[in-house]
Amino acid sequence: MKRSLWETLAIILIAVVLFIGLRLTIQTCIVDGPSMENTFQTGERILVDNLAYKFGTPQRGDIIIFHPPISSTAPFIKRIIGLSGERVIIKNGTIIVIKTDGNKTTLQEPYIKESPDYNYNSGVIPPNEYFVLGDNRNDSEDSHYGWFVSRDEIIGKAWLCIWPPHFWGLAHNYRQPAAIAVTIAPTGMLTCMGMLLLALLPLPGSPLPL
């Protein structure tokens, strides 16, 4: 049987709504710069979950895309290290987080390219702000330059690398072993069908510098 005109229009409308919905919840960004090596390399295309923090809270170890509080023509991509009310101390190549209850935690960081060759004390991180660092600690413009990231300026959470093909996989949003044993976790917001569609769609990307 031939489809009626209304059936065809309904299919087109559903397809358009799905497409717009996916574009509003996900965007593609292109890594541009060495600051997240070896986690991400220049030229990698990353799907960003724009709804991750509409329904959840940024966590230590998350890789986020955000508008930096300094002059920049494009968003930054970094990893959250310190949360609001905490203090981050970088000394002798290690990172110590002093939590709001006074307990100290030395971070385990298997994702970094090399240990930082600088010392730094963040002071207390203000409310609704975060201390972020690049995984390439010695070649990254980040919070050790004296600034924090406001939650309002976070665009989303890195979710999936879709290009080049040999790098395809979930972003390494890391959890410290004491908190949870899983080191790679999807956001759970997106369906497999959506993932396949996005991998095939020629989505434009915005560069993520530094």
Rounded CA-CA distance 206/152 in Å is: 19
With contact defined as beta carbons under 8 Å apart, do 202 and 162 qualify?
no
Q: Is 115 noted as a catalytic residue in this protein?
A: no
Closest C-alpha among 80, 47, 97, 72 to residue 154: 80
Residue 84 among the catalytic residues: no
Tell me the three state secondary structure of residue 154: strand
Q: Name the catalytic one among 35, 122, 140, 143.
A: 35
Instruction: Take residue 130 and report the two structure tokens written for it.
Output: 């975060």
Phi, psi (5° rounding) for residue 7?
Answer: -65, -45
Catalytic residue from among 2, 78, 122, 157? 78
Give the active site residues: 35, 78
